[in-house]
């Protein structure tokens, strides 16, 4: 990869951050995909269309979703070059467009959630409860009770939650703000944890010089699952977010309300949760539809 390529990638990522509000994780993914493509082709910004046509062969062993993501990053990069007058053409038409299917979320039963909270309750029964168990309680209550993303959770400011306000306002993916309801249980768990947070910490979940990392959160959830007798590979912070959405929908939540709480820009993303509710929908038609109470004619 040439020095010009590195400079243009930097300019592209600055634009994505400033104009489109791309998150640090998104920017890192773009940089990885662009530098990887440059390594394959030898150059990036001035790569001919024929060089891009060779990429599918290099990506042949990758999943369709991964190929689609890499191709999307390159399309955005070449569109940026064209808009800035840095290329006379846009060669991205040569990139593949693999057909992808949105994967269904892992489903976690309410019984499994109960087992997680039973382990936490057992630990909190100690007198006094351990500091790290109070932290774990607050984390899991917010994950399952509010459907926060892992990054949103670990980076919460110390004063994000207020004792007299049953919600918080988050800036999530793409810089979009949303209102997130916070249950009484979660507020109580956070209040208990706050007593152990240093007064000068800007973070609700501090760790070292920054906040708790997503990787450490992931490890904590896996460890909790093992203690509850649940296979750790079935659970992650994101699976708890899925459980929040799935169980709300099963309880009768409106899909649009769920979209707002999860912070999905597209209702299509929220609709992946409707697959888990098919049995309830059938029961709903059989019990609530006007025809259900009518005697069939012979």
Using DSSP's 3-state secondary structure scheme, residue 118 falls into helix
How many Cβ atoms from other residues are within 10 Å of residue 192's Cβ?
Answer: 16
Beta strand ranges found along the chain (DSSP E): 167-171, 177-181, 206-207, 210-211
Cis (ω within 30 of 0) for the bond into 128?
Answer: yes
Using DSSP's 3-state secondary structure scheme, residue 33 falls into helix
Helices (H) and strands (E) in the chain, counts: 14, 4
Calpha distance 194→212 (Å, rounded): 15
Residues serving a catalytic function are 149, 173, 238, 241, 264, 273
Distances (CA, A) of 115 to 25, 126, 203: 32, 18, 29
**DSSP 8-state secondary structure symbol assigned to residue 128:** S
| Residue 285 token pair | 């038609």
237-250 and 214-227 are packed helices; what angle lies between their axes, rounded to 10 degrees?
70
CB 146 within 8 A of CB 172: no
| Residue 269 token pair | 């993303």
| Backbone phi, psi, residue 203, to 5° | -110, 150
| Backbone phi, psi, residue 109, to 5° | -75, 160
Reduce the secondary structure of 187-200 to three states and give it as a string: HHHHHHHHCCCCCC
Calpha distance 163→200 (Å, rounded): 19
């Amino acid at each position: 990869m040439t020095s010009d390529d590195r400079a243009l990638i930097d300019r592209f990522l600055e634009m994505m951050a400033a104009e489109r509000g791309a998150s640090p994780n998104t920017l890192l993914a773009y940089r990885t995909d662009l530098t990887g493509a440059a390594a394959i082709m030898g150059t990036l910004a001035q790569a001919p269309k024929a060089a891009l046509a060779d990429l599918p062969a290099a990506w042949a062993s990758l999943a369709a979703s991964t190929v689609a993501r890499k191709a999307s990053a390159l399309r955005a990069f070449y569109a940026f070059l064209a808009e800035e007058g840095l290329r006379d053409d846009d060669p991205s038409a040569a990139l593949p467009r693999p057909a992808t299917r949105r994967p269904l979320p892992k489903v976690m039963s309410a019984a499994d959630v109960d087992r997680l909270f039973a382990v936490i309750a057992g630990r909190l029964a100690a007198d006094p409860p351990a500091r790290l168990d109070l932290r774990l309680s607050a984390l899991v209550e917010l994950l399952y009770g509010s459907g926060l993303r892992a990054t949103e959770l670990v980076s919460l400011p110390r004063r994000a939650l207020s004792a007299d306000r049953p919600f918080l306002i988050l800036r999530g993916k793409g810089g979009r703000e949303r209102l997130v309801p916070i249950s009484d249980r979660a507020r109580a768990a956070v209040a208990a944890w706050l007593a152990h947070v240093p007064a000068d910490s800007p973070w609700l979940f501090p760790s070292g010089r920054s906040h708790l990392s997503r990787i450490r959160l992931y490890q904590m959830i896996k460890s909790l699952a093992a203690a509850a007798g649940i296979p750790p590979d079935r659970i992650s912070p994101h699976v708890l977010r899925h459980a929040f959405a799935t169980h709300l929908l099963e309880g009768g939540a409106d899909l649009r309300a769920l979209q707002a709480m999860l912070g999905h820009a597209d209702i299509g993303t929220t609709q992946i949760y409707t697959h888990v509710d098919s049995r309830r929908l059938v029961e709903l038609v059989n019990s609530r539809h006007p025809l259900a109470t009518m005697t069939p004619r012979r």
